[in-house]
Amino acid sequence: MKKVALITGAASGIGKEFSKIHAEKGGDIVAVDINAEGLKTLKSELESEYGIEVYTIVKNLTQLTAPQEIHDEVLSHNIEVDYLINNAGFGGIGAFHERDWAKDLAMIQVNVIALTALTRQFLPDFVARDSGRILNVSSTVSLVPGPLQAVYFATKAYVTSFSNALSGELSETGVSMTALLPGATKTAFGDHSGMNKTEIYKKPASARDVALAGYNAMEEGKIEVIAGLPWEQRVELAFIPFMSKKALIQRMKKQSVAQ
């Protein structure tokens, strides 16, 4: 029986790779994105190549009503979602007091509110039938403070904490919650956020590798997985608990400055 995956931010980057991976496995897709043309292209490519169905929903997740509208539309078409992949998100660089507040507010809306609301919309359905998998795309930056990217790092800290907590709540059910913590990844995200010019982006991983690691971890019901992190950054991550908070903050500040 075909599994249906609802994927946000499905038209590009890691989201597009999630879509391809799920299609390769013979699953149908509910693809959500603000990019209508990107969704149209994705639908055409995946349906012709893999013989699966892609139902597209053009939606701006900065709108508070978007998660409810997505859930309502899925129900109205009698689509039963098996996998929820909350992938959509964006970042930005700059001193918090100088950044455009509207952009940071939109970031919180997409990275935190929409992700949480979509989880709340679909999770009762999953629990009621005692099956389903949720994958929330967080980041390795969720594990540290982020001077010059304060809101972005904080939103991802929320995603990791929220996902870990729900994995505990769901441990006695047939539903799983997985957090994907990628390092720097080759997508348009880096260009749009300005992060591609920082030290963090010296060795970005491929979107395919990151998506595959996350998808496999989701299928296995893992609590979380770190993906796409160069060995030197993995070593640095391991030493974080032993660093003073002041030293850690200064280190992260340095990494957020454009080179």
Inform me whether the pLDDT recorded for 157 exceeds 60.
yes
* Residue range 162-200, pLDDT digits in tens: 999 999 999 999 999 999 999 987 766 655 556 665 556
Contacts 24+ apart (CB under 8 A), 98-101: 99/151
The HSE-up count of residue 180 (CA atoms within 13 Å, CB side) is 32
pLDDT of residue 14: 97
What confidence category does residue 74 fall into, taking pLDDT thresholds of 50, 70 and 90?
very high
pLDDT of residue 242: 84
Q: Which helix (H) or strand (E) holds 75?
A: helix 66-76
Q: What string of DSSP letters covers 140-195?
A: GGGGS--TTSHHHHHHHHHHHHHHHHHHHHTTTSSEEEEEEEE-SEESHHHHHHSG
> Are 107 and 90 a contacting pair, CB within 8 Å?
yes
Inform me whether the pLDDT recorded for 252 exceeds 80.
yes
pLDDT of residue 158: 98
> Are 211 and 224 a contacting pair, CB within 8 Å?
no
Domains parsed from the chain with CATH numbers: 4-255 (3.40.50.720)
* Residue range 92-119, pLDDT digits in tens: 999 999 999 999 999 999 999 999 999 9
In this structure, of 14-18, 25-29, 180-184, 255-259, the range with the lowest mean pLDDT score is 255-259
pLDDT of residue 110: 98
Distance (Å, whole) CA 35 – CA 19: 15
Collapse the DSSP code of 221 into the 3-class scheme (helix H, G, I; strand E, B; otherwise coil) and give the result: coil
What confidence category does residue 238 fall into, taking pLDDT thresholds of 50, 70 and 90?
confident
Distance (Å, whole) CA 87 – CA 141: 16
Non-local CB neighbours of 91 within 8 Å, separated by 6+ positions? 107, 149, 152, 189, 193, 195
pLDDT of residue 195: 61
> Are 190 and 201 a contacting pair, CB within 8 Å?
yes
